[in-house]
A = this chain, B = another copy of it.
Amino acid sequence: MATKTNGAKPSWEEAAREKRDAILASLPREYLIPEPLPSPEEQRDVTGAYAHQFLTAREIEITETDAVGIVAKTTTGDWSAIEVTKAFIHRACMAHQLLGCLHETDFPAALATAASLDAHFAEHKKPIGPLHGLPVSLKDQCHMKGLDTTMGYVGWIGTHEGDSSSPLHKNFDSVIVGELRRQGAVLYCKTAVPATLMAGETVNNIVGWVRNPKNRLVSCGGSSGGEGALVAFKGSPGGFGTDIGGSVRIPCAFNGLYGLRPSNGRLPYEGMANSMDGQNTILSVVGPIAGTLASARLLAKAVIDSEPWWEDPLVHEIPWREEQADAVRRQGKLVFGVMRDDGMVRLTPPMRRGLEAAVEAVKKAGHEVIEWEVPEECAHKHLFQIAMETWAMDGGDDVIKAFGLSGEPPMPHFLLDLSATPNPQMPASAIAALNVRKRRIQKAYMDFWSSTTSLTSTNRPVDALLTAPCPHPAALENRFPFTMYTTFANVLDYAAAIVPTGVVVDPALDAPEDGLRWRSDMEQRVHEKAFDPEIQKGAPVTVQVVGRRLQEERVLAISEIVDEALKKAALS
């Protein structure tokens, strides 16, 4: 319940409203869509034609060019960083009005950066780095000089992670922020997250429930949901989210975007805010989200090329290995495993259609597909158990304290059980036993994957696994129950990418199924509560491409092959 205060300290409602108003007030008036705005029911899809009416042809040209296309212009002087930045600021402002996807903006600083990049180019006739002049959006876990980091907690407003006396407040850049700046990126906003970060939707007491630009009745996903909404609306050519259970991939899935969950130790997390920081059984990772696969790769590669292992003590010294991508491209026939069912929750009809489209496309392109049938010791229900125990390790201590700073109530959307205050904590020996179980299943899964050599015609193990990122399409509000189609890769620490299939939810093709025998309450809940083709109509369907640990370059190269195969199949 709300905290009543008398005296100087505002109530959490007042603090949240003030912050919400400040975000809106930071949007230049000339970039706002004139009131009244259409309701989500009146205007579900606000991308494409709806958005275009408020933009100039030049702004449309710029914002509908992908990150690779943009840097091709900005690193050669064809486009100025200022013009590109202004166009994305305009579109980002519209995105926030329509979707509620921003937590922080610093447009004056972004324009100053852009101006200095242009001046640099004018003087030296060369870019300062591979991202010269590219606007890049960041999830609101990144600390940026001059900006708050609320991570959706009212109690963090105006503080450093809840500490109102910390000299760090607004005073430093997370490592990835500094590296993006050095590579020439223009940082202009931070995007919305669900408080706790433990949700497949994006909702908090500051900006509310963030909507999907393709269909505003459904969720933009979470926890990097503001990032997903902004990029899908083309208010950003690409940015970075984080993923501890699917938080990069779910927003990509729900918004029809490309993204990568790298393994631990490739991209720098150092200096970012987090939930349950220090839990090191399953580590959250940073990954790119973009409108094209090449753009996602550009972002990941630019950060790795900046050699983050000299600035983040948990990043491994593994340079970008384009030769591994080349080896994949030269390989000819690939073999995919397809996981149509994780043994816990079957896919809803549109997700099945999407996965089938990917399977058919790669087969048509000459690749092999085998069924992914894991032995009992690798069953995904065991991975599920490990993830659930890990997330509940501290009994909610961290997030309960964070909510408690302001007295704001937690939302029901979170995947953590916050009913008891707090639940018991796991002691050291139980955590150690959990870590051993996790390592053993990582080993068993590794050995199983290697053993698929006996099932392929290539005398190699399966090259990548194809599966859905989620059993249902973009979530209905407060109806996202099950993350395991993404989370299994977090437990295993596998590299995993998202590729749109071109399939969208279509009530005519995607009738809910009657008469199935549900294997669990969870399965029933997914099919009966989380799937409604009438409401989810038009929501994009994507496929997940999962590779082995630290195989980011290979996974992106394989995803490229899947993407091309899907595009080719759609044309024929």
Report A's interface with B, CB cutoff 8 A. 265, 270-271, 276-281, 309-314, 316-318, 393-395, 397-398, 425-429, 431-436, 439, 442-443, 445-447, 450, 492-493, 549-551
Q: Which B residues touch A446, using CB under 8 A? A: 310-311, 313
Query: Shortest beta-carbon distance, A209 to chain B, in Å?
Result: 29
Q: Which B residues touch A436, using CB under 8 A? A: 277-278
28 CB < 8 A contacts A-B: A276-B432, A278-B434, A278-B435, A280-B280, A280-B435, A309-B550, A310-B446, A310-B450, A311-B447, A312-B443, A313-B439, A313-B442, A313-B445, A313-B492, A313-B549, A316-B316, A316-B318, A317-B318, A317-B550, A393-B428, A393-B432, A395-B428, A397-B428, A397-B429, A398-B432, A425-B428, A426-B427, A426-B428
Q: In whole angstroms, how far apart are the Cα atoms of A73 and B425 in the complex?
A: 58
Chain A interface, DSSP helix/strand/loop, else mixed: loop
Q: In whole angstroms, how far apart are the Cα atoms of A492 and B314 in the complex?
A: 10
Q: B398, B434, B439: which contacts A429 (Cβ < 8 A)?
A: B398
Q: Which B residues touch A445, using CB under 8 A? A: 313
Q: Which B residues touch A271, using CB under 8 A? A: 443
Q: In whole angstroms, how far apart are the Cα atoms of A310 and B445 in the complex?
A: 11
Q: Which B residues touch A309, using CB under 8 A? A: 549-550
Q: B431, B447, B450, B549: which contacts A431 (Cβ < 8 A)?
A: B431
Q: Which B residues touch A493, using CB under 8 A? A: 313
Q: B277, B311, B318: which contacts A318 (Cβ < 8 A)?
A: B318
Q: In whole angstroms, how far apart are the Cα atoms of A309 and B265 in the complex?
A: 15
Q: Which B residues touch A428, using CB under 8 A? A: 279, 393-395, 397, 425-427, 431
Q: Which B residues touch A279, using CB under 8 A? A: 428, 432, 435
Of all chain B residues, which has the CB nearest A450?
B310
Q: Is the CB of A425 within 8 A of B435?
A: no
The copy count of this chain in the complex is 2
Specify which of A313, A395, A425, A443 lies most central, judged by the most chain B CB atoms within 10 Å of its CB: A313
Q: In whole angstroms, how far apart are the Cα atoms of A394 and B436 in the complex?
A: 14
- Given pairs A271-B443, A316-B316, A397-B428, 14 additional interface contacts (CB within 8 A): A270-B439, A277-B432, A277-B436, A278-B434, A279-B428, A280-B281, A309-B549, A313-B439, A313-B443, A318-B318, A394-B428, A394-B429, A395-B428, A431-B431
Q: In whole angstroms, how far apart are the Cα atoms of A431 and B316 in the complex?
A: 23
Q: Is the CB of A431 within 8 A of B278?
A: yes
Q: B265, B270, B276: which contacts A316 (Cβ < 8 A)?
A: B265
Q: In whole angstroms, how far apart are the Cα atoms of A449 and B37 in the complex?
A: 55
Would you list the 3 A-B pairs with minimal beta carbon distance, nearest first?
A: A278-B432, A313-B442, A278-B435
Q: In whole angstroms, how far apart are the Cα atoms of A317 and B271 in the complex?
A: 25
Q: In whole angstroms, how far apart are the Cα atoms of A357 and B317 in the complex?
A: 33
Q: In whole angstroms, how far apart are the Cα atoms of A449 and B155 in the complex?
A: 36
Q: Which B residues touch A280, using CB under 8 A? A: 280-281, 432, 435
Query: Shortest beta-carbon distance, A270 to chain B, in Å?
Result: 6
Q: Which B residues touch A277, using CB under 8 A? A: 432, 436
Of all chain B residues, which has the CB nearest A280?
B435
Q: Which B residues touch A426, using CB under 8 A? A: 427-428
Of all chain B residues, which has the CB nearest A276?
B432
Specify which of A279, A427, A435, A450 lies most central, judged by the most chain B CB atoms within 10 Å of its CB: A427
Q: Which B residues touch A551, using CB under 8 A? A: 317
Of all chain B residues, which has the CB nearest A278?
B432
Q: Which B residues touch A318, using CB under 8 A? A: 316-318
Query: Shortest beta-carbon distance, A451 to chain B, in Å?
Result: 12
Of all chain B residues, which has the CB nearest A424?
B427
Q: Which B residues touch A432, using CB under 8 A? A: 276-280, 393-394, 398
Q: Which B residues touch A439, using CB under 8 A? A: 270, 278, 313-314
Q: Which B residues touch A276, using CB under 8 A? A: 432
Q: In whole angstroms, how far apart are the Cα atoms of A442 and B310 in the complex?
A: 11
Q: In whole angstroms, how far apart are the Cα atoms of A192 and B270 in the complex?
A: 40
Query: Shortest beta-carbon distance, A495 to chain B, in Å?
Result: 11
Specify which of A276, A317, A442 lies most central, judged by the most chain B CB atoms within 10 Å of its CB: A317
Q: In whole angstroms, how far apart are the Cα atoms of A442 and B271 in the complex?
A: 12
Of all chain B residues, which has the CB nearest A396?
B429
Q: In whole angstroms, how far apart are the Cα atoms of A279 and B435 in the complex?
A: 7
Q: Which B residues touch A442, using CB under 8 A? A: 313-314
